[in-house]
């Protein structure tokens, strides 16, 4: 699986690269529109992640030309929250999904997986802890066969916990993986969302699947 990231902010770019690489994708990063277009045509990527705010050639134009040149790879566009019309233009120009900045890296990964699957069979990698089953591809979570509904944030947190079942995850780690770059340390959102998850997962059970490690963070109980 090879992914092209076209993003001019070095900070964001390297953050995305790292995250994707950790998921064992091969990643190429390009910092300007023209170069991105060149690469998109030169290599048969499985996915292209494209920032719309680019120096030189605007993102929408990159996309349009790439499609015109026969690039088939699914494209995920990144936009600022305010640039709604840009987003629309992007989708018109042939994008398959969009993500607004700032975003949580887990969300980007989840969507990337979805796009890759749609394009052609990515590995399933179903996560299972106790009788909770999480399917990262469909984003479905069940307990005891019963479907559980999560919001985006809740799901991202859930997936992160499941992926690291049996390991202690400190709040810093959770912040870094589930929230975005400028996370305020002096807040209790994480606690609150853990509480949301527990409400949905553990309703009416005596022992929570998510354990609190006082002074450090949380841990998803692993089997046994």
In whole angstroms, how close is the CB of 117 to DNA at the nearest point?
A: 22
Rg (CA), the chain: 19
Q: Hey, what's the torsion of the CAs at 126, 48, 88, 107, to 10 degrees?
A: 30
Residues of the shown chain interacting with its own copies in the complex, contacts defined by CB under 8 A: 10-11, 14-15, 18-19, 22-24, 81, 102, 104-106, 138-139, 151-152, 168, 170-173, 176, 182, 185, 214-217
Distances (CA, A) of 45 to 6, 20, 27, 68, 168: 12, 14, 10, 16, 36
In whole angstroms, how close is the CB of 204 to DNA at the nearest point?
A: 13
Residues of the shown chain interacting with DNA in the complex, contacts defined by CB under 7 A: 81, 100, 151-154, 179, 184, 187-189, 191-195, 198, 212-218
In whole angstroms, how close is the CB of 221 to its own copies at the nearest point?
A: 15
Task: Supply 58's token pair.
Answer: 């605007």
168 binds, among its own copies, DNA, none (CB under 5 to 8 A by kind): its own copies
Handedness of CA 68, 74, 80, 84 (dihedral sign): positive
| Residue 116 CA from chain centroid, whole number | 12
- A 10 A CB-CB count for 128 gives 12
Judged by beta carbon, residue 42 or residue 213, the one nearer its own copies is 213
188 binds, among DNA, its own copies, none (CB under 5 to 8 A by kind): DNA
189 binds, among DNA, its own copies, none (CB under 5 to 8 A by kind): DNA
């Amino acid at each position: 699986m090879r992914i092209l990231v076209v993003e001019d902010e070095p900070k964001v770019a390297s953050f995305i690269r790292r995250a994707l690489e950790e998921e064992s994708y091969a990643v190429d990063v390009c910092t300007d529109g023209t170069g991105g277009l060149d690469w998109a045509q030169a290599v048969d990527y499985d996915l292209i992640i494209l920032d719309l705010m680019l120096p030189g050639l605007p993102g929408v134009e990159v996309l349009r030309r790439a499609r015109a040149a026969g690039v088939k790879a699914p494209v995920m566009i990144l936009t600022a929250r305010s640039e709604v019309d840009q987003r629309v233009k992007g989708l018109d120009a042939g994008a398959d999904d969009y993500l607004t900045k700032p975003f949580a890296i887990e969300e980007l990964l989840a969507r990337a997986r979805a796009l890759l699957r749609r394009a052609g069979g990515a590995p399933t990698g179903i996560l299972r802890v106790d009788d909770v089953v999480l399917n990262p591809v469909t984003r479905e979570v069940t307990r005891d066969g019963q479907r559980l509904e999560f919001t985006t944030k809740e799901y991202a947190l859930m997936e992160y916990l499941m992926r690291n079942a049996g390991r202690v995850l400190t709040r810093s780690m959770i912040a870094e993986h589930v929230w975005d770059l400028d996370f305020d340390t002096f807040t209790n959102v994480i606690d609150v969302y853990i509480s949301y998850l527990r409400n949905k997962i553990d309703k009416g059970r005596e022992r929570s699947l998510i354990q609190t490690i006082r002074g450090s963070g949380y841990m998803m109980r692993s089997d046994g």
